[in-house]
Amino acid sequence: MTAKRIIDHLERLMQLHESLFELSKKKTEALKTNDTESLKAYLTRERKHVSAINTLEKKRMAAVEEWAASEPDYDIESPTISDILNWANWPERQKLQEVYDSFILVLADLKQQEVLNSELIKQSLQFVNMSLELLQPSLQNLNYGESSKPSEEKRSVFDSKA
């Protein structure tokens, strides 16, 4: 068996991840402008992308296992693309290597973008929490009894003069 199916699956996975990366950049802009409606729409589209990626990844894994089963001398139990590249000697090896390298770069860009989005969300939540704390009155202002005048220094029984 050749690597044609594996290459096709990897190319489609790369396209989906590139699309997810573009979506992630739009999500960043929505976070920056506080556009919650757009953010909701992007998150919905993102979930669909992730679902499609999971389905395609299962197909890619099945194709890799099928390839490994068809090779008589190949004995690695759970082969990876790296294992196949190190072992195989067929004409599509160069194409598989190119697609694999491009895919790794797309994944790195996506990861970096998602780290940025995570930091933006974290900062937004910190701002919201700080704003809520500023808006809530403190407990000292709500208590009745002691006036707001500076109180005399309170001493315990053991510190008092006889």
Domain with 14 in it: 4-134
Residue 156 belongs to a domain: no
Residue 157 belongs to a domain: no
Residue 67 belongs to a domain: yes
Residue 58 belongs to a domain: yes
For range 39-43, the mean pLDDT: 93
Residue 139 belongs to a domain: no
More confident residue, 45 or 66: 45
Q: What is the pLDDT of residue 59?
A: 93
pLDDT single digits (tens) 87-117? 777 777 888 889 999 999 999 999 999 999 9
Residue 160 belongs to a domain: no
Say if residues 41 and 5 touch (Cβ distance below 8 Å). Answer: no
Q: Exposure string (b/e) for 114-148, b if CB count within 10 Å is 16 or more?
A: eeebeeeeeeeeeeeeeeeeeeeeeeeeeeeeeee
Segments in the chain forming alpha helices (H): 4-33, 36-70, 81-87, 93-135, 139-142
What domain count does the chain have? 1
